């Protein structure tokens, strides 16, 4: 069972923010374009990883003693 809270709440916003940083903010920075683009890409890649992790997340049952 997929976890919508993880996928939709964290994964997709990170992908969007990473893309905005990499494509819109990086060209405006003089001298550090590569660094800003790298950070934006890293945020986007981590967002994809978290999105996929949310698809495979399952609820666990509590063990009572």
Residue 64 lies in a domain: no
Domain that holds residue 13: 4-56
- On whether the pTM is more than 0.85, the answer is no
Instruction: Report if residue 63 sits inside a domain.
Output: no
Give the pLDDT score at 1.
55
Reported for 53-57, long-range contacts at CB under 8 A and 24+ positions apart, including other chains, are 53/6, 53/11, 54/2, 54/3, 54/4, 54/5, 54/6, 54/7, 54/8, 54/10, 54/11, 55/2, 55/3, 55/7, 56/2, 57/1, 57/2, 57/3, 57/6
Task: List the one residue out of 9, 4, 14, 2 whose CA is nearest residue 55.
Answer: 2
Q: Could you tell me if residue 18 is inside a domain? A: yes
Model confidence pLDDT, tens digit, residues 8-65: 888 999 999 999 999 898 888 889 999 999 999 999 999 999 999 888 887 778 888 7
């Amino acid at each position: 069972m997929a976890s919508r809270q993880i996928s939709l709440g964290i994964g997709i916003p990170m992908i969007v923010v990473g893309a905005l940083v990499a494509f819109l903010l990086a060209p405006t920075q003089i001298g550090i374009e590569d660094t800003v683009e790298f950070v934006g890409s890293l945020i986007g890649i981590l967002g994809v990883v978290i999105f996929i992790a949310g698809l495979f997340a399952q609820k666990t049952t509590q063990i009572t003693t």
